[in-house]
Amino acid sequence: MQTLYFVVPCVIIFFLLVFPNGFCLADTNMKSSSQCSQADNYSDSESTFQTNLRTLLDSLASNVVQNHGFYQTIVGKKANRVYGTVLCRGDISASNCSDCTLNSTRVASNDCPMSKDVSIWFRWCFLRYSNVSFFGDMQQTAVAITNETDFDDPSVVSEGLPFMSGLAAVAPDKSFMFHTEVLNTSQSGQKRYGMAQCTRDISRVDCRRCLDSQLENFRTVIGNKRRWEIYGSNCFMWYNDYQFYSNGSTLLSAAWRPSSYTTLIIGMTLAVSAALFMLF
Ligand SMILES: *[C@@H]1O[C@H](CO)[C@@H](O)[C@H](O)[C@H]1NC(C)=O
Ligand SMILES: *[C@@H]1O[C@H](CO)[C@@H](O)[C@H](O)[C@H]1NC(C)=O
Ligand SMILES: *[C@@H]1O[C@H](CO)[C@@H](O)[C@H](O)[C@H]1NC(C)=O
Ligand SMILES: *[C@@H]1O[C@H](CO)[C@@H](O)[C@H](O)[C@H]1NC(C)=O
Ligand SMILES: *[C@@H]1O[C@H](CO)[C@@H](O)[C@H](O)[C@H]1NC(C)=O
Ligand SMILES: *[C@@H]1O[C@H](CO)[C@@H](O)[C@H](O)[C@H]1NC(C)=O
Ligand SMILES: *[C@@H]1O[C@H](CO)[C@@H](O)[C@H](O)[C@H]1NC(C)=O
């Protein structure tokens, strides 16, 4: 049985949902999860918000590739302002990044038509927009996807989490905060593959904290599994028994460094607002 686990920071709640599509063995794209804020009834004056949103989504889709798979922008003024982010998985091609972004904007309009704070997770890209600024603000809300009964070999289990912990330590210091690694397990010929990535609006320190807390929060769920994926608002970690990522990337070809954000405080309010979201 395929299962989704939702973790909201501070008040740690696990949401168990049956995952309809089954765990993907090939590296194909599909929607993994979505989160919509409570629907708003847009009044006439607020249709400006919808217009701005449309402009924002178009802008994200047309700029994401030239910005190496990560783009943020703001459209509109005051109450009708909308903030948006898109991040493509670091190893996918430019055309697949662009297609995934377009598809995610369509899914957003379809799944959450009246919501002002929306997150859509595809396997290859992540889209978020909101009427409230979230840029640079590290959030720990995350979904883990694994197969509850697909346990790994006990001798490999003891190596998996330390391996991913190592990846969490290395990824923040990589350009683009994207990193993949291969684990040669003590079982000869048995390999495991890991990936970690952060959105580039947070600092390297927050990236590390984000990845570490995902491993910590989901430890009991993923620790003994052969394959799993964690999708967050600011960071992502995948673990599998085959090389799911491609070797070279055209997306991430130029040097890049994050801006230096000061450490942001993650308040209880995040947990409270996250709890108001409807889960799909
Ligand atoms: C939106 O409209 C529907 C139907 O008219 C109503 O049931 C709902 O409570 C409204 N929601 C808000 C947030 O006003
Ligand atoms: C964002 O939208 C929500 C829901 O309509 C509203 O309650 C909130 O005040 C808005 N925030 C801003 C900064 O506009
Ligand atoms: C896009 O993804 C598909 C499906 O995995 C793959 O076959 C194709 O090669 C990818 N496109 C590029 C340009 O890499
Ligand atoms: C985007 O959606 C189209 C139509 O559903 C589909 O054929 C295509 O494979 C999708 N591409 C990606 C990268 O998700
Ligand atoms: C989950 O894992 C079990 C045991 O390996 C397997 O039999 C089952 O088909 C898997 N389920 C899915 C949805 O992949
Ligand atoms: C894992 O094994 C391969 C050969 O199968 C080798 O090239 C690679 O360096 C090894 N990696 C580590 C981290 O030991
Ligand atoms: C990536 O490169 C490694 C060694 O260079 C090779 O064994 C592997 O098959 C390649 N994987 C893919 C998906 O191209």
Give the amino acid at 58.
D
Say if 206 falls within a structural domain: yes
Which ligand number lies closest to the CA of residue 183? 6
Among 182, 188, 192, 243, which is best to mutate for testing ligand 6, by the most ligand atoms less than 8 A from CB? Answer: 182
Residue 184's CATH number: 3.30.430.20
List the residue whose alpha carbon is closest to atom 11 of ligand 6. Answer: 184
Residue 45 has a pLDDT of 58
> Is the domain of 213 the same as that of 265?
no
Q: Which domain holds residue 66?
A: 31-130
Which ligand number lies closest to the CA of residue 99? 4
Out of 130, 164, 191, pick the residue that ends a domain.
130
Parts of the chain with a pLDDT under 50 = 1-2, 6-22, 257-280
Say if 36 falls within a structural domain: yes
- SS (HEC) of the chain: CEEEEEECCCCCCCEEEECCCCCCCCCCCCEEEEEECCCCCCCHHHHHHHHHHHHHHHHHHHHCCCCCCEEEEEECCHHHCEEEEEEECCCCCHHHHHHHHHHHHHHHHHHCCCCCEEEEEECCEEEEEECCCCCCCCCCCEEEEEECCCECCHHHHHHHHHHHHHHHHHHHHCHHHEEEEEEECCCCCCEEEEEEEECCCCCHHHHHHHHHHHHHHCHHHHCCECCEEEEECCEEEEEECCCCCCCCCCCCCCCCCCCCCCCCCCCHHHHHHHHCCEEC
> Is the domain of 234 the same as that of 267?
no
> Is the domain of 17 the same as that of 35?
no
For residue 85, which phi and psi values (nearest 5 degrees)?
-135, 140
Say if 53 falls within a structural domain: yes
Out of 68, 103, 130, pick the residue that ends a domain.
130
> Is the domain of 94 the same as that of 193?
no
> Is the domain of 229 the same as that of 268?
no
Residue 188 has a pLDDT of 87
Say if 42 falls within a structural domain: yes
Say if 183 falls within a structural domain: yes
Give the amino acid at 136.
G
Residue 266 has a pLDDT of 31
Q: Give CA–CA dist 70/60, Å, rounded.
A: 9
> Is the domain of 77 the same as that of 102?
yes
Among 47, 116, 118, 130, which is best to mutate for testing ligand 2, by the most ligand atoms less than 8 A from CB? Answer: 116
Residue 140 has a pLDDT of 86
Say if 137 falls within a structural domain: no
Q: Count of residues for the chain?
A: 280
Domain count, the chain: 3
> Is the domain of 221 the same as that of 267?
no
Residue 5 has a pLDDT of 53
Say if 154 falls within a structural domain: yes
> Is the domain of 45 the same as that of 95?
yes
C-alpha neighbours within 13 Å on the C-beta side of residue 192 = 26
Residue 47 has a pLDDT of 86
Residue 251 has a pLDDT of 87
Residue 259 has a pLDDT of 46
Atom of ligand 7 nearest to the CA of 245: 13
Q: Which two tokens stand for residue 213?
A: 């807390």
Among 170, 184, 193, 247, which is best to mutate for testing ligand 6, by the most ligand atoms less than 8 A from CB? Answer: 184
